[in-house]
């Protein structure tokens, strides 16, 4: 295996690694976002129920 072959293989590995990282980051961001949304929904429902219960 000569030098250029080795470089191309390492570059391929690096790009696939970076792609994996980006996909992972996107998935993490999405899951965090959905978790935050769920929490906010619960919170707002609680506020809404308590306000509604107060007759406002």
21 closest CA partner among 33, 29, 32: 29
The model's pLDDT over 21-47, given as tens digits with 9 standing for 90+, comes to 888 888 889 999 899 999 989 988 888
Q: Residue 38: its pLDDT value, please?
A: 92
Q: Residue 53: its pLDDT value, please?
A: 67
Distances (CA, A) of 5 to 10, 12, 16, 42, 48: 9, 11, 17, 55, 64
Tokens of 47: 């506020």
């Amino acid at each position: 295996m000569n030098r250029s072959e080795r470089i191309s293989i390492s570059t391929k590995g690096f790009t696939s690694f970076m792609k994996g990282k980006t996909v992972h980051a996107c998935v993490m961001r999405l899951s965090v976002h959905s978790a935050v949304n769920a929490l906010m929904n619960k919170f707002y429902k609680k506020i809404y129920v308590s306000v509604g219960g107060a007759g406002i």
